[in-house]
Amino acid sequence: MDLFDTVPPDTPPPQPSTRRIHTVSDLTALIRSRVERDFDDVWIEGEVSNLRNPGSGHCYLTLKDDQAQIRAVIFKSVARFLKFAPKDGLHLICRGHVTVYEPRGEYQLVVDYLEPKGAGALQLAFEQLKGRLAREGLFDSVHKKPIPFLPKRIAIITSPTGAVIRDMLHILDRRFSTIPVLILPVPVQGTGAAARIPAALDLANALPARTRPDVVILARGGGSLEDLWAFNEEPVARAIARSTIPVISAVGHETDYTISDFVADLRAPTPSAAAELVVPRRDHLLASLDTARRRLEAAVRTRLADRRARITAEWRAMRGPAHRIETALLRMDELTARLRDGMGRLLDAAREQRRYLVRAVTAANPRRRLQTVRLDHQRHAERLATLVAAELTARRTALASLAARLHALSPLAILERGYSLTRALPSLRVIRTAADVSPGNDVLITLGHGEIVATVRNTRDSGPFSGDL
């Protein structure tokens, strides 16, 4: 009789000589053999409960529905390759074989493959890793490093073959051909990609300072979630987070998102877009620099015109009839010419500085150089203003002194001290001796204040008068 055949209730008990008595171990072994033979490849779905992950690496759980449950085990050899972590309450679809755990006499499912019901395993693994890294703060903006405006060296981590690297190199050469590009070849999908990509990123950070890139681009063309999975691996995310060099993630198409996009300092929608984002166009930079040069020259010309106008106004204000004043004005003209020459030299120096900036634009940030030129111009302009103000003050002082001396020598000043000037009428000839007039001649006497017309009554050459005048 078969072990699992049912004995009718009215069948008499077997005679002692024909009975076969099994031990518990024997019966359990027979059951295990039958179960493993009949259920060696089954698919089962259920909700996870009582999940345990001991230090052995095996995973123990219970699969249940609303009416029954079965114990299940995921051995370490299978669990290590899972893309996601089973959780209590998760609905799974499992494939495996049923066996009996003899020490407890319980049957259980040994899982060889499992996937979440509904969402795929890779999508679930993506969401789980994304949530865990977000909680650790790897996506926080405080950790994002700025991308340099004009990097001196660029590193690209990607496959050395295919259209991606060719397109990126073409764009970089077109936009700024003098920037060196370091290519670190790695597989971007399949076995080994998740280890080679972090190694290449660590290598870029370990390079000597003179050859270390200023920015690193992780690049890969579009593909399915499985194709892009290397950039969803935790080692890649950790390598990006610990990189001291800014990292741009350019993986897949614009609608594709990977873990590396969230950890990187900047996400580019495509590899070609990353090449356009990492460097500005050289012709645009030169155009901006030329515009700044023209503005600087216009500002210098405006300042010179203002200084000339002020000097001309001062010159006109100081014009006078005296020769000494004319000499002072000529001297001021000379100073004005020297000032103009000095400003010309300053302008030439600024132009030379601009030419130097154009030559050095590939090796340095032109904005900082332009700022230096502006500071130099401001310093020269302030120094020039100080020199002009000091020179004008000195000239005004000298002019005032000359005017005072001229006034002291003026005949009018002598007349104000009590002297007079006598001239014959009507010729107005100056009378210097008594012999120049005769009695009866009319004379004009000019005093410090006013004039007197008189008639000569008498004259004498020297000595006091005798008699009436």
145 has pLDDT over 60: yes
Kindly state the percentage of the chain with pLDDT values over 90: 11
State how far the alpha carbon of 101 is from the alpha carbons of 50, 65, 69, in Å.
18, 22, 16
Mean pLDDT, the chain, rounded, equals 81
355 or 270, which is more confident?
A: 270
Kindly state the percentage of the chain with pLDDT values over 70: 88
| Least confident segment among 31-40, 175-184, 316-325, 347-356 | 316-325
Only one residue has tokens 């020179």, namely 391
At 421 the pLDDT is 85
At 199 the pLDDT is 93
At 247 the pLDDT is 93
Q: Mean pLDDT over residues 128-132, rounded?
A: 80
Q: Which of 244, 249, 245 is nearest to 232 (CA)?
A: 249
pLDDT in tens, 1-41: 344 444 455 555 555 556 778 788 888 888 888 887 888 88
pLDDT in tens, 32-63: 888 878 888 888 888 888 888 888 888 888 88
Return d(Cα 181, Cα 218) in angstroms, integer: 13
Return d(Cα 163, Cα 224) in angstroms, integer: 17
Most confident range, picked from 10-19, 196-205, 272-281, 459-468 = 196-205
324 has pLDDT over 70: no
Could you tell me if 134 and 95 are in contact, meaning their C-beta atoms sit under 8 angstroms apart?
A: no
345 has pLDDT over 80: yes
pLDDT band at 83 (very low <50, low <70, confident <90, very high): confident
Could you tell me if 45 and 58 are in contact, meaning their C-beta atoms sit under 8 angstroms apart?
A: no
468 has pLDDT over 60: no
Q: What angle do CA 424, 426, 427 make, to 5 degrees?
A: 70
233 or 467, which is more confident?
A: 233
Residue-range domains of the chain with CATH: 24-118 (2.40.50.140), 140-278 (3.40.50.261), 282-408 (no CATH), 410-469 (no CATH)
pLDDT band at 121 (very low <50, low <70, confident <90, very high): low
| Least confident segment among 102-116, 226-240, 382-396, 402-416 | 402-416
225 has pLDDT over 80: no
At 319 the pLDDT is 56
Q: Is 440 left (phi over 0), alpha (psi -120 to 50) or beta?
A: left
362 has pLDDT over 70: no
At 184 the pLDDT is 92
Return d(Cα 366, Cα 357) in angstroms, integer: 7
pLDDT in tens, 226-273: 778 888 888 889 999 999 999 999 888 877 788 888 889 998 988 888
Measured in degrees and rounded to the nearest 5, phi and psi for residue 314 equal -65, -40
429 has pLDDT over 80: yes
* Beta strand extents in 173-255 (DSSP E only): 181-185, 215-220, 247-251
At 291 the pLDDT is 83
Strand pairing report for 42-52 and 91-101? antiparallel
